[in-house]
Structure 1
Amino acid sequence: MVEAYSWGREFQLGYHQHPPFWAWLCGLWFSVFPSTPFFFALLSATNAAIGLWGTWRLIGELVKNPEQRLAARALPLLTPFFTFYAFKFDANTIFISLWPWTLLFFYRASERHDRRATLCFGLLSGLCLLSKYYVLLPLAGCALAALTSTNGRNWLRSRQPWIAGALIILVISPHLWWLTENQAPPLTYLHSRLNWPWAEILHRFFMTGFGLLGMMTAVTGLTALVCTRAHGPRAHHATMTAGQTKWTALVTLTPVVLTLAFGIVLRTPISSEMMIGVVPLLPLLVLQAAGTCPPRPLARAAVALVAIGSLGLVIGAPAFMYYRVHTKRWAKQIPYEEVARESTRLWQERVHTPLTYVAGSAPYSDFVTFYSASHPHSFPWHDRSFALWVTPERIHQHGLLSICESNDSHCLAAASLYATPRTVRIPLAVAHHFGHYEGRMYNFTFIITPPAVP
């Protein structure tokens, strides 16, 4: 998340791992709100709320019976898609908000031939591509859904897909230009993630697949329980028509299958987090598989379980925190915020110009960028390929603060490349604090290189 913040401060047309849109959103958000964890949580919650609204609208297009629609809209809240996983803002979770609306306009464009929806689909698809190239996999699901539908094939034969495609290219064209000018750093990063050891790839494969199934446990369990035990009147027909079911299955399951397949074929690590934003209709497929399940008891049970679960989590949060601070796991909490404060203090005591650039062992530079009152530019790993906005001239003009773990020889060696006769090295042990609790001490070396004397 702090990486999103540090990137968002720069407003580049691209970054070394991903395209820029989600980082732009983070930068715009914190240009309005204070840089505090609360407002980062609020950004994440807003992202989830927008996605939930889009999912609500999309389900409304597919499910016409009011009682079945209420059940279908309540079931996604039983997944961690819009709750636990949503309280993180990165290149994966941005799809929680973008993808439901993209699917909504794709459905209206391909199935209803709505020209305005085609334009919106093109715009949102472009923004998805500007967020992470992974969206090509769910877009493949859209293509399959259109090819297997009569209305979709008619739409593909029209001019509308070409208009959508042109709008996509228009949206991403600045980023394409940036790729050509900078030797495509995201593709270099992708190449570095290929050909991992088979043991790790197979572990990730099974963890991803079973992780996604695990996220659906509450949905499948509650649906099965209500459908087998409820005594209310059953629905007269299934939730969706056969054509809608096929459409929903293709746009939902295609990215899942392709993600798992690409993990094996490319031997690249995958995770269930990659897919949480592109499977908003997965609970709807579970409901459809239940057939003519009594919709009213299911809707009531889902809403009640969500309400009880949410209340229980709020009540249990203090007890969980009490447990956390008494475990060894919390004691090992790395003191990111404390490092940011100490580094800023040390710089201000020795240098009479603002702290502008911070480097060091990742991810300390990003955390200092977020937590420090100076909000300096991040220079992770002292590597310009990770931060194209940093130049030797700017380091020479503004100076550099490097933060290295004391046993990180690579960081210490990289920092020495920017050292001058005025460079000062300060060893310091720092611990994380919560209330009157103190975690374990971590040893750091703060390396201060003041600006060149004019």
Structure 2
Amino acid sequence: FGPSDAVFYLASEAIVLASFAAIHRLARLYLAPWPAAMAVMALTAMGYYSFIVPNLNHNILVMLPWCLTILLVHHAIEGRRPWAWPALGLCLGTGVLAKYAILMLVPLILAHMVVEPRHRRLLARPGPWLAVAVCGLVASPHLPWLLDHEFAPVAYLFDRAGIGEVSSPLQHLTAPLVSLAKMGGMCGSLLLLLCGALGWPRWQGHALSSSDRLLVTMSVGPVAIVLLLGLFTGSDILVEWAAPFFLPLPVLLLRLFYPSPSHRRIRRFLIWLSGLSMAMGVTYVLIFTGMVTTAGMVKEAEWSWFPVRALAEKVSSGWATVCDGPVPVIVGDSWLAGTASYLLPGQPRVYTEADRRMSPWLSDEDVRQSGAVIVWNRGRPTQFLDLDHKNGDGDPAGAGWFPGLAALEARFGDIRILPDVVLPYGGSAPPAAAWLGLAVVPSAACRR
């Protein structure tokens, strides 16, 4: 795609738009045309489907298979469409390759089939098992890699969520509440939109059909699973991880809690949505122009104004003082090392935090042979570490990933220490300049 960043932003937007299209198809199974369109438009009022969309990652990638899975489950179970079963397996398998979180839908699908008497007989038919086979076939190339790398994504999940850390009994009670508050906060603008435009939600009183119960299960079930996990582990969810959970939520609310809207209420809805969209747009502009980045309160502003090109230039020039040629490897946290790598020619490999569990494609021996630039944050050692760990910036006990040059020298051999680097931010309200340490591990060829 060349040097342009546009493809990343366009890909992210395309995935979200395709997810919206799948939700619209789902909504039309439950709602009339205008309410179905409103269910999709309402999603844009939520931070999950506006604020975080430019940040292309696995939380975005899983949205489309998540939506298609729910749609295909309806076709397969409620609609008795034989073709939907292999398509369902394909979506689930693709979703597994994007993010394991989609597997939460599997027990929910099974529970719906078991609880509904008329659906139990489906388990004796080939359709569900064909879906399982297709899912396994699509996801199977990932299994050898997972075994070879000691289940690194699972270890990442445990570390990022803080699972396995010593927790008090109180944490087991508060963790679900914290998770619920985080998810509720991201849904607050949706509720504001619906309440302001359509009034307070009221149960419409009609009996729930099997199709309705499926919608409830797919919409609320993932949240219930997260709350139960928090109760047992004492760990709360990271807010971004719940990104796909609420895609069917407007359909559920408009189906069960609101009557078919009149033309007047549709106009009110569009006015409210326009107002919220303008307010959110202004907020995003303030954030990404650096106008509200004081004291590191809004990390997205720090991302957008971080002196990334100056960082890449310092990494490149630091390597050039010791060895010839392009930088082969950068050792550091995922933000500093990854950003510098992205902007440098050839995009050097990144040895994240010098930890093989985080970069299983590299080893200490690779660094000794090829050489590397080590970069670490001296001023704010834990800045942006919440990209990879539960405890990030602001953790008073956090010393960051950097173990000290002596420890790294014991692993990599000779290390040449370079002068510290101070890089000022841009923006109208910049935080303190980034104070970074740099060092070079000479390549084996340089040492000869």
- Asked whether the two chains share a fold, i.e. TM above 0.5, the reply is yes
Aligned with 1:277 (options 244, 262, 268): 244
1:25 corresponding residue in structure 2 = none
Counterpart residue type for residue 11 of structure 2: L
Counterpart residue type for residue 240 of structure 2: E
Check the 8 A contact 2:425/2:432 in 1, yes or no. no
Correspondence 1:427 to 2:419: yes
SS in 2 for 1:354: coil
Structure 1 distance, partners of 2:155, 2:298, is: 37
C-alpha displacement at 1:261, in angstroms? 0.4
Unpaired runs of 5+ in structure 1?
Answer: 1-31, 230-236
SS in 1 for 2:373: strand
2:438 corresponding residue in structure 1 = 446
Correspondence 1:410 to 2:403: yes
Aligned with 2:357 (options 360, 385, 400): 385
Structure 1 distance, partners of 2:248, 2:2, is: 33
Correspondence 1:194 to 2:163: yes
Correspondence 1:43 to 2:35: no
Correspondence 1:354 to 2:326: yes
SS in 2 for 1:48: helix
Counterpart residue type for residue 133 of structure 1: Y
C-alpha displacement at 1:362, in angstroms? 4.8
Structure 2 distance, partners of 1:217, 1:55, is: 20
2:3 corresponding residue in structure 1 = 34
Structure 1 residues 42 and 33: alpha-carbon distance in aligned structure 2, compared to 1, 3 A threshold: farther
SS in 1 for 2:83: helix
RMSD over equivalenced CA pairs, Å: 3.2
Correspondence 1:125 to 2:117: no
For these two proteins, the number of residue pairs brought into alignment is 413
Check the 8 A contact 1:216/1:283 in 2, yes or no. no
Structure 1 residues 354 and 56: alpha-carbon distance in aligned structure 2, compared to 1, 3 A threshold: same
Correspondence 1:205 to 2:176: yes
Structure 1 residues 77 and 383: alpha-carbon distance in aligned structure 2, compared to 1, 3 A threshold: closer
Structure 2 distance, partners of 1:137, 1:354, is: 44
Structure 1 residues 349 and 96: alpha-carbon distance in aligned structure 2, compared to 1, 3 A threshold: same
C-alpha displacement at 1:124, in angstroms? 0.9
Structure 2 distance, partners of 1:120, 1:348, is: 52
Check the 8 A contact 2:368/2:412 in 1, yes or no. no
Structure 1 residues 371 and 165: alpha-carbon distance in aligned structure 2, compared to 1, 3 A threshold: same
Cα deviation, 1:23-75, whole Å, max 9, x if unaligned, reads: xxxxxxxxx25363x54333332222221122112212332x22332333332
Unpaired runs of 5+ in structure 2?
Answer: 382-399
Structure 1 stretch 322-331 or stretch 389-398: which is displaced more?
322-331
1:61 corresponding residue in structure 2 = 29
Structure 2 distance, partners of 1:217, 1:435, is: 29
C-alpha displacement at 1:194, in angstroms? 2.2
Structure 1 residues 397 and 214: alpha-carbon distance in aligned structure 2, compared to 1, 3 A threshold: closer
Counterpart residue type for residue 406 of structure 2: A
Aligned with 1:264 (options 202, 221, 231): 231
C-alpha displacement at 1:379, in angstroms? 0.1
2:126 corresponding residue in structure 1 = 159
Q: TM-score, normalised on structure 1?
A: 0.80
Q: TM-score, normalised on structure 2?
A: 0.81
Structure 2 distance, partners of 1:426, 1:341, is: 14
SS in 2 for 1:208: helix
Structure 2 distance, partners of 1:70, 1:35, is: 34
Counterpart residue type for residue 413 of structure 1: A
Aligned with 1:343 (options 284, 291, 315): 315
Check the 8 A contact 1:405/1:443 in 2, yes or no. yes
Structure 2 distance, partners of 1:79, 1:194, is: 28
